Amino acid sequence: MIKNEHVIITKNLTRAFGENLAVNQLSLTVDKGEVFGLLGPNGAGKTTTVRMLAALLVPTSGEAWVAGCQAGVDDQGIRQKIGLLPESPGLYDALTAEQNLAFYGEMYGVENKNQQIQRYLELLGLWNRRFEPVGTFSKGMRQKLAIARALLHEPEVLFLDEPTSGLDPQAARLVRDFIAELKEEGRTIILTTHNLEEADRLCDRVAVISGHLLALDSPRELRRKLFGRRVVFHLLEANQRLASELEKFDFVTEAQVVENKILVAVDDPEEQNPRLIRALVESGAEIQFVGELRRRLEDVYLELMGAVKGNQHE
C-alpha cells in the first residue's frame, strides 16, 4: 500500500517495446505538493513513464502507485485522481472553449462544472474567448485550455508533458507563471520538459533519466554533488600568494587565480566565507566584492549525458 507521504511510488518500473527497453527499472517517489521534473533527451522514456503512471500504458514489469491506487490493479481509480496534459492536447476544434470544458466536466461528473469552467478560464485569461471555436485559437491558447481541462476536476496529481513546447516566449511565460501559481497552492505536479531553466525554476526535485535513472535530487543538490560550490573573490589585484594562503584551510579543496579573481572550492560558503575574507585582508588583499560561481541545471544535465555517452563508447 502506498505510504501517506508519497503520492507516487515506482519500484523497478519497466516498459519494453519488443527488445527496446524504453524505461528500465525506474524506482522513485514523489511527495504530496511537490513539483517533480522528469528530464532526459528524446527517447529517454519520459513520456512512456508518464503514460504508465497515468494508467494509459501497462508496465512490462515492476510496480507503481499513484494517489493510493496501484497501476494495473486500479487503473480507473488512477484516471479519476489525475489530470493529464499530453504533448498533443487533443481538443475538439469545432467546439468552443466552454463546450470543450463542459464535455470533459460531464465525463468526469464535476458537480460545480460551470463554476469550475469560469474559474480556470478566468485564471488562464480565456474567459472572454469562451464562445469562440477552439480551431481558431493559437497554440498558446490551446495549451492553456488543455491545462484548464486537466485541472477542471481538481485532481490530486497533475501530469504536464512538455507544457511549453513550441510556444512563443510570451505564451510560454504565461504557462510557466501559471504552473508557479499551482506550485504555491501546493499542487502535486509531474513535469516533463526539455527547458532546463524552466525545470530549475519550477521543480523541487528532478529525475534525470535515459532509459534508467541517472540522478535524482533537487537542482541545487545536483549542482553541489557534481560540481561542489565555488566562491569568487573579486580583488583589486589577485596573485598565487593569496591563493596559497587560502589553500592552507583544510576545508578549501582548491583556490585558483583567474585574472583578478580567486575561485575557491568550499563545502559551506555561508559558514566558511568570513574566515577566508579575514585571511585575505590580513594578507593585504583589497576585496572589491564576493560572489558565488553559479552552475546551471543545464551544466548538470550535460555532465550526466556526457557520462552516458562515454560509457556507451567504452
Mean pLDDT lowest for which of 84-88, 242-246, 274-278, 306-310? 306-310
pLDDT single digits (tens) 190-249:
999 999 999 999 999 999 999 999 999 999 899 888 888 899 999 999 999 999 999 999
pLDDT recorded at residue 2: 41
- d(Cα 126, Cα 133) in Å, to the nearest integer? 12
pLDDT single digits (tens) 35-78:
999 999 999 999 999 999 999 999 999 999 999 999 999 999 99
> Cα–Cα distances in Å, from 237 out to 256, 281, 307?
14, 12, 38
pLDDT recorded at residue 3: 44
pLDDT single digits (tens) 146-179:
999 999 999 999 999 999 988 889 889 988 999 9
pLDDT exceeds 90 at position 308? no
Give burial (CB, 10 Å; 0-12/13-18/19+) of 287.
middle
pLDDT exceeds 70 at position 314? no
pLDDT single digits (tens) 236-294:
999 999 999 999 999 999 999 999 999 999 988 999 999 999 999 999 999 999 999 88
Can you tell me the mean pLDDT for 111-118?
94
- d(Cα 235, Cα 261) in Å, to the nearest integer? 6
H-assigned helices in the chain: 46-53, 75-81, 97-107, 113-123, 139-151, 169-184, 196-202, 219-227, 240-247, 269-282, 297-313
pLDDT recorded at residue 312: 54
Q: Is the separation of the CB atoms in 260 and 238 below 8 Å?
A: yes
The alpha-carbon radius of gyration of the chain (Å, integer) is 24
- Which strand (E) or helix (H) includes residue 226? helix 219-227
Q: Which domains does the chain have, with CATH numbers?
A: 6-217 (3.40.50.300), 228-293 (3.30.70.100)
Categorize the per-residue pLDDT at 306 as very low, low, confident or very high, splitting at 50, 70 and 90: confident
Give burial (CB, 10 Å; 0-12/13-18/19+) of 294.
exposed
Q: Is the separation of the CB atoms in 275 and 261 below 8 Å?
A: no
Parallel/antiparallel/unpaired status of strands 212-217 and 205-210: antiparallel
Which residue is it, cell 533519466?
209
Categorize the per-residue pLDDT at 313 as very low, low, confident or very high, splitting at 50, 70 and 90: very low
pLDDT recorded at residue 282: 96
Can you tell me the mean pLDDT for 97-103?
97
- d(Cα 199, Cα 36) in Å, to the nearest integer? 9
- For helices 139-151 and 97-107, the axis angle rounded to 10 degrees is 30
